[in-house]
Structure 1
């Protein structure tokens, strides 16, 4: 099985990758379209040149690789993707051959976290619009809207949500998915030193803490641009009972 987990930045996407990587039957890939995004956008992200040196920036090459044989003779290939690495003209035909899942988080929480690390100038940096584009494409291909999970639900009850997710995609749940060794991973992207300092300290999903997030007025337009897409996706998220 090949799993494409579509997230935006400043979510729990790396922690979820840790969860799947802790399975003995799973190989993980960290943001394989990052170099493609940097080449197409011209964005000057931290470790830009290292990423371009490390990964292929050719869309066709990467998408062919992602639908090929699962590396290391594993049974599951978990691919962590950033939706904002995809452009409207990107050929999404390859996603017919993988199981597409979507991870969402409240835009207020994402904006507050993101702008502390990186300049935020447009809602497109946060990936909600692209997630909707990809999800609708999946629905067109398959006839069914893809599975959506909310980061808040995962953090409130990791075991229940991960068990439900495994059941929905027809793989066995393993207790090992609920904890992992702290530290760096060989599978982490070369950008990890700039983004993964917090997740490297973790050994499990961190408890959800309800915060009274008040956005500065300068972020209101970006927030409003994200909300319709977030609410559209979240309305289809897994119902946790």
Structure 2
């Protein structure tokens, strides 16, 4: 599909990834897909996530078929196929050759903030739940292939959403529209079936919230997980910024 931008944003959980999806979906020339590899991830790992069976039933457990849809045809008039991905959904059994055919961006967040938010909804957390290690692997693979992806820190983005979105549009030869900065509150048909468990804040939102510094106080295992992930975050943080 000549001229279609297949924009893949690879994030970890408890980031601004869903708000970012809203921004791109609010363009008149875009379609979005919400975590297309989630069903495969749950089916393969056996993890007990909220509405696990519904996610698998509603999604596509075959990663090969998911990839076919991500690279396949889009509706007439669509210029941007926005793909919201979780980096930890990239399990070892998935061949990654197809990722290089997408326009990839890594969206990162301080793991101390991620873990503090994560454990408010989940009883426990492990380093691989956060996705930063997987983002480092993905960054290095793409860089080795000659296409290091842009890295955006959510804190930087929220300090200046418009300029970040303008830069992404310019990189992909797209016209920026102010529609990307605000959207109607409420659910969307494109939201995954897990949305009622995770998207409360986004459903209430009508735009990006201003950046607020946080100083989460972690103890025990959550603190240990954040510490393990901090080196991965620092590695990517050093490679972040507008280009």
TM-score by shorter chain over 0.5: yes
Once residues 5 and 102 of structure 1 are traced to their aligned partners in structure 2, the CA distance between those partners, rounded to angstroms, is: 6
Encode CA deviations 1:120-164: one digit per residue, 9 max, x unaligned: 3310001001111112222233x1311011111111111111112
Answer yes or no: is the 8 Å Cα contact 2:34–2:83 preserved in 1.
Answer: yes
Does residue 132 of the first structure (1) align with residue 121 of the second (2)?
A: no
The answer to whether the 8 Å contact 2:164/2:242 transfers is: no
More displaced stretch, 20-29 vs 156-165:
156-165
Q: Does 1:173 align with 2:176?
A: yes
Matching residue of 1:121: 125
Distance 1:218 1:39 in 2: 26
Distance (whole Å) between structure 1 residues aligned to residue 68 and residue 236 of structure 2: 27
CA deviation vs aligned residue, 1:195-240 (integer Å, no higher than 9, x gap): 0011100000001111222222332221121111111111111149
For 1:27 and 1:91, how far apart are their aligned partners in 2? 25
Q: Do 1:4 and 1:100's aligned partners in 2 also have CA atoms closer than 8 Å? A: yes
Partner of 1:18: 22
Contact 1:129 1:226 in 2 (8 A): yes
Q: Distance in 1 between matches of 2:40 and 2:76?
A: 24
Does the Cα contact within 8 Å between 1:64 and 1:94 map onto a contact in 2? no
Partner of 2:83: 79
Matched residue count: 239
Partner of 2:230 in structure 1?
A: 227
Residue 156 of structure 2 corresponds to: 153
Aligned to 2:44: 40
After TM superposition, give the deviation of residue 175 of structure 1 in Å: 0.6
For the Cα contact (< 8 Å) 1:155–1:207, is it kept in 2? Answer: yes
| Cα drift, residue 96 of structure 1 | 1.8
Distance in 1 separating the partners of 2:106 and 2:209: 20
> Helix, strand or coil for the counterpart of 2:8?
strand
**Is 1:4 aligned with 2:43?**
no
SS in 2 for 1:149: strand
Give the gaps of 5 or more residues in structure 2: none
- Which of residues 192, 200, 208 in structure 1 aligns to 2:211? 208
Q: After superposition, what is the alpha-carbon deviation per residue over 1:39-61, rounded to whole angstroms, capped at 9, x for unaligned?
A: 11101111111111111100111
SS class of match (1:117): coil
CA contact (8 A) 2:112 2:223 kept: no
Partner SS state of residue 82, structure 2:
strand
**Which consecutive segments of 4 or more residues in structure 1 shift more than 6 A?**
none
Q: TM-score, normalised by structure 2?
A: 0.94
1:86-107: CA deviation from partner (whole Å, max 9, x where unpaired): 1223211111211011100011
SS in 2 for 1:116: coil
Cα deviation for residue 112 of structure 1 reads 0.5
